Amino acid sequence: MPQPLSDRATVILEVLRRQTAPVSRTDLAAHLGVARATLTEALTDLESRALIQESTTTASTGGRPPQTFELNPSGATIGVIDVGGSRTRVGLADFTGRLLDDALLTENVEAGPETILAWAVATLNDMVSTHDRDGSSLLVIVGLPGPVDFATGEVVSPPIMSNWSGFDVRAFVTSKIDAPVIIENDVNLIALAEHRLDYPDAKVLLVIKLGTGVGGGLVINGELLRGARGAAGDIGHTQSTRAHGAQCRCGHVGCVEAVAGGWALVQTLQSRGLDVTNITDVAVLVRDGEPTASNHVRAATRVVGQAVAQAVSLLNPDTVVIAGEMLQAGDAVLATVREGVYQYSLPLATHDLRLVPSSLGPLVGLKGGAQLGIDVLVGAVHMPQLDLHTPAN
Ligand SMILES: [Zn+2]
């Protein structure tokens, strides 16, 4: 890893990443509250690292345009592997967070780490050469659908993907790509994408993912709340009185996920004679108004609504974003969650609450991975996992 950036350089990068247009030296100085001249050292350092560039955009009329700066898209490359319960995506992003490429593998996570990661790493290596990014410094983010120890990047006793428990994902990936690797929970990546790309003004943002599992992610004052070890936000395995003692795949009974997780919905609807194999099948049936599926999903979503209400009471978020494949079922899902939140939370907690569906699409995990990569590259967050990285040679 190169020398760490100065605090001033980090702030400059933070300002530039949040702007949609290049920023003049005068405006940068105003953001930092310093004189223009004092920026020279940090700007020179950032240009020499190729992290920023002078914008080539010229003013349309009159006079000499002011010198403006923007992030250099080639400054770094972020590879993202987003492992989900029933599909895995790989993407490549530039230093502005723009996705250059993405690929999809439809495979259940239970197929095991070797199968899924071998495909992901090979795909990522291909993308790096295809996009001629071999010379650019690469950072790899891996999102996993289970509890990830923040300090070490290990998956700890996952409720699903039990064949991943204890598997050293970082060692596997670094043995095939010589780059620092960060392992993160998949819903945390979604939460980061929602905050950075759609709700940067949110002070307390809660994301609920309704997919094969039910997960939660929290961004508070711009930072992911991972908890002491990385287990924060695991709303799917909180208990619900409405779950009526249903058996969960984590071993407990009465979890929210045991009723409202995609896997549980599939099991129940199959037992009632419907032809469904995954959460998308379920969502499509609800969208098309199939009565058995619609009634059951509505009841299951009330369980989610109750759990989200408890989270709202505990955290008083200003923004709750509902994400995941279940959104394909249509507006009814969001409406049922909203109903539960307003029924069970106190008025003060819901007074200015915005409860919205994610609009970032199926690549949201990749987009979030790119944002985490930028956070790390600009020096805005320190990941203890990176201290564990030793280059291959
Ligand atoms: Zn559970």
- What's the predicted TM-score (pTM) here? 0.93
Instruction: Give just the sign of the alpha carbon dihedral 222, 227, 229, 232.
Output: negative
Q: How much distance in Å is there from the Cα of 238 to the middle of ligand 1?
A: 7
Phi, psi of 153 (to 5 degrees): 80, 10
Q: How much distance in Å is there from the Cα of 258 to the middle of ligand 1?
A: 6
Q: CATH 3.30.420.40 residue ranges in the chain?
A: 75-189+364-388, 198-357
Q: How much distance in Å is there from the Cα of 261 to the middle of ligand 1?
A: 10
* 366 vs 386: CA distance, rounded Å: 20
Token pair for 247: 């058996």
Q: How much distance in Å is there from the Cα of 74 to the middle of ligand 1?
A: 43
Q: How much distance in Å is there from the Cα of 235 to the middle of ligand 1?
A: 9
With a CB cutoff of 8 Å and minimum separation 6, the contacts of 69 are 12, 16, 22, 23, 24, 25, 28, 43, 52, 53, 54, 55
* 150 vs 266: CA distance, rounded Å: 31
Helix (H) or strand (E) holding 42: helix 40-48
Q: CATH 1.10.10.10 residue ranges in the chain?
A: 7-71
Q: How much distance in Å is there from the Cα of 264 to the middle of ligand 1?
A: 11
Q: How much distance in Å is there from the Cα of 252 to the middle of ligand 1?
A: 5
pLDDT tens digits in sequence order for the chain, 393 residues long: 567 889 999 999 999 998 889 999 999 999 888 888 889 999 999 999 999 999 876 555 667 778 899 999 999 999 999 999 889 999 999 999 999 999 999 998 889 999 999 999 999 999 999 998 887 789 999 999 988 888 888 888 777 788 888 889 999 999 999 899 999 999 999 999 999 999 999 999 999 999 999 999 999 999 999 998 888 999 999 998 888 889 998 889 999 999 999 999 999 999 999 999 999 999 999 999 999 999 999 999 999 999 999 999 999 999 999 999 999 999 999 999 999 999 999 989 999 999 999 999 999 999 999 999 999 998 878 777 888 765 544
Give me the pLDDT at residue 131, please: 94
What is the CATH topology of the domain spanning 198-357? Nucleotidyltransferase; domain 5 (3.30.420)
Q: How much distance in Å is there from the Cα of 115 to the middle of ligand 1?
A: 26
Give me the pLDDT at residue 393, please: 43
Q: Residue 28 in 3-state DSSP? A: helix
Pick the CATH number of 7-71 from 1.10.10.10, 3.40.190.10, 3.20.20.10, 2.30.42.10: 1.10.10.10
With a CB cutoff of 8 Å and minimum separation 6, the contacts of 204 are 218, 219, 220, 221, 315, 316, 317, 318, 319
The answer as to CATH 3.30.420.40 being correct for domain 75-189+364-388 is yes
